[in-house]
Amino acid sequence: MGPDVAAVRAFLTERHAALAERLAGLARRDVDPRPQPADDAAARREARTLLTLLGDAGWFASIGEPDWRACCLARETLAAASPLADAVFAIQALSSVPLLLADNATLRDRWVPEATAGRAMGGFAMTEPEAGSDAGAIATTARRDGAHYVLTGRKTFISNAGLADFYVVFASTDPAAGRKGLSCFVVPAETPGLLFQGAQVLSAPHPLGDIAFADCRVPADHRLGAEGRGLALGLATLDRLRATVGAAACGMAARALAEALNHARTRRQFGQPLAEFQLVQHKLARMATDLAAARLLVYRAAAAADAGAERVTLESAMAKAFATEAAQGIVDDAVQILGGRGVLASHPVDRLYRSVRALRIYEGTTEIQHLVIAGQLLKGAAP
């Protein structure tokens, strides 16, 4: 299934509407029929397969030449078909955007075309055991040593850990300066001293794990942006991508609503279809309304970014917070309408239930989005 273009038409061009239709067709043909991976090892193999498949079909084009509405359409479509395929798209974007934003043409030309063709898998390594929401607490260091930096430290909860071909890594070049001492580096996966420490297995298929840097020597020209500007680059990346997390949430919610509607029409209890009970109708109405509101916030933020707004901090934080929270409720209501069938591991709604939860946590939790929104309001931003 594809996004409901009509509902957000005010934010889209003709080209976007045509793209949405084409992506829906590609998802139906290539992604929907793929079997669900049985375990984490299978999910890791499937992620690499999906990378090639999506790259060959041109899904990542909207990352290389940033078109945020197109990225949202892609994530909405993929998330409805396969949350794992959406995660593959998300991390390609997360690892490519810092390269696009920073002024380092050599690194950009080395990695972005490979990433957007699906030939190189990226990773984005910010989180550490003691630095989650508080990214300023990053303790990994990058000590200058002649023409190199020497990285030492540990990263956790890294998507594509152990699978990626390159990582965008945040480390401190000046620990005394705190968050203003952070810098950003591109580290190819085969660099000696970059170690995969093992998988962290989620309840939904998503390759995740720990990596460590043990005296890992990186050429000085692998730094992205100026020393001390790493956190700003990371936050500018998240600014642009948070609306796409909201889009993924909308894709999952739309699929859950479609499954719930279908079930409510066909399942009969007490001599009539579930859809004729007003308590079920109330759930369906609320689910559809929340989804419509979420999509408006998502495409509003993406359209503002496409229009060249320097920062879309407020819009993208609102889109991510509202859409991911709404999607959680919509998917939960879908499970309820499905009854026992909704908690069978083989049912798409159960898969969505396990997948949607992480969206309220990664790329900044809902609480952090609310702090960001309030911070913007207090600075005088108009909602």
Ligand X SMILES: Cc1cc2nc3c(=O)[nH]c(=O)nc-3n(C[C@H](O)[C@H](O)[C@H](O)COP(=O)(O)OP(=O)(O)OC[C@H]3O[C@@H](n4cnc5c(N)ncnc54)[C@H](O)[C@@H]3O)c2cc1C
Residue 125 in contact with ligand X, rule: CB under 6 A? yes
Residue 320 in contact with ligand X, rule: CB under 6 A? no
Q: Position 144: which residue type?
A: R
Q: Which of 96, 116, 127, 328 binds ligand X (CB under 6 A)?
A: 127
Binders of ligand X: how many residues, by CB under 6 A?
20
Per-residue DSSP letters for 26-72? HIIIIITTSPPPSSHHHHHHHHHHHHHHHHHHTTTHHHHTT-HHHHH
Query: To the nearest whole angstrom, how small is the minimum distance from the Cβ of residue 170 to ligand X?
Result: 8
Contacting range for ligand X; rule: CB under 6 A; set: 25-33, 188-196, 306-314, 354-362 = 354-362
Among the listed residues 374, 71, 47, 14, the one whose alpha carbon sits nearest the alpha carbon of residue 207 = 47
Instruction: Report the DSSP pairing between strands 122-125 and 166-172.
Output: parallel
Residue 85 in contact with ligand X, rule: CB under 6 A? no
Residue 124 in contact with ligand X, rule: CB under 6 A? yes
Residue 208 in contact with ligand X, rule: CB under 6 A? yes
Residue 66 in contact with ligand X, rule: CB under 6 A? no
For residue 156 the two structure tokens come to: 């956790």
Q: Which of 164, 335, 358, 372 binds ligand X (CB under 6 A)?
A: 358
- 366-378 vs 313-338: helix crossing angle, rounded to 10: 150
Query: To the nearest whole angstrom, how small is the minimum distance from the Cβ of residue 95 to ligand X?
Result: 8
Mark whether 310 is an active-site residue: no
Query: To the nearest whole angstrom, how small is the minimum distance from the Cβ of residue 344 to ligand X?
Result: 23
Query: To the nearest whole angstrom, how small is the minimum distance from the Cβ of residue 93 to ligand X?
Result: 11
C-beta closer to ligand X: residue 23 or 358:
358
Query: To the nearest whole angstrom, how small is the minimum distance from the Cβ of residue 370 to ligand X?
Result: 8
C-beta closer to ligand X: residue 60 or 362:
362
Residue 140 in contact with ligand X, rule: CB under 6 A? no
C-beta closer to ligand X: residue 157 or 185:
157
Residue 212 in contact with ligand X, rule: CB under 6 A? no
Using CB positions, name the residue nearest to ligand X: 132
Among the listed residues 360, 301, 299, the one whose alpha carbon sits nearest the alpha carbon of residue 331 = 360
Instruction: Report the DSSP pairing between strands 122-125 and 223-224.
Output: unpaired
Burial class (CB in 10 A: 0-12, 13-18, 19+), 215: exposed
Burial class (CB in 10 A: 0-12, 13-18, 19+), 117: middle
C-beta closer to ligand X: residue 221 or 367:
367
For residue 364 the two structure tokens come to: 């900044």
Is residue 84 within 8 A of residue 37, CB to CB? The reply is: yes
Q: Which of 367, 375, 377, 381 binds ligand X (CB under 6 A)?
A: 367
Q: Which of 12, 115, 126, 352 binds ligand X (CB under 6 A)?
A: 126
- How many other CB atoms are there within 10 angstroms of residue 123's CB atom? 25
Q: Which residues contact 155 (CB under 8 A, 6 or more apart)?
A: 125, 126, 127, 128, 140, 161, 169, 210, 211, 212, 213
Residue 132 in contact with ligand X, rule: CB under 6 A? yes
Residue 158 in contact with ligand X, rule: CB under 6 A? yes
Catalytic site residue from 46, 128, 315, 363 = 363
Q: Which of 108, 206, 222, 351 binds ligand X (CB under 6 A)?
A: 206
C-beta closer to ligand X: residue 26 or 372:
372
Is residue 102 within 8 A of residue 224, CB to CB? The reply is: yes
C-beta closer to ligand X: residue 19 or 99:
99
C-beta closer to ligand X: residue 8 or 158:
158
Residue 365 in contact with ligand X, rule: CB under 6 A? yes
What are the strands, taking DSSP E only, across the chain?
Answer: 122-125, 141-145, 148-159, 166-172, 182-188, 194-199, 208-219, 223-224, 268-269, 272-273
Give just the sign of the alpha carbon dihedral 357, 351, 85, 249: negative
- How many other CB atoms are there within 10 angstroms of residue 174's CB atom? 15
Residue 96 in contact with ligand X, rule: CB under 6 A? no
Residue 243 in contact with ligand X, rule: CB under 6 A? no
Q: Which of 337, 362, 373, 376 binds ligand X (CB under 6 A)?
A: 362
Interface residues with ligand X (CB under 6 A)? 124-127, 132-133, 157-159, 202, 206, 208, 358, 361-365, 367-368
Query: Catalytic amino acids?
Result: 363
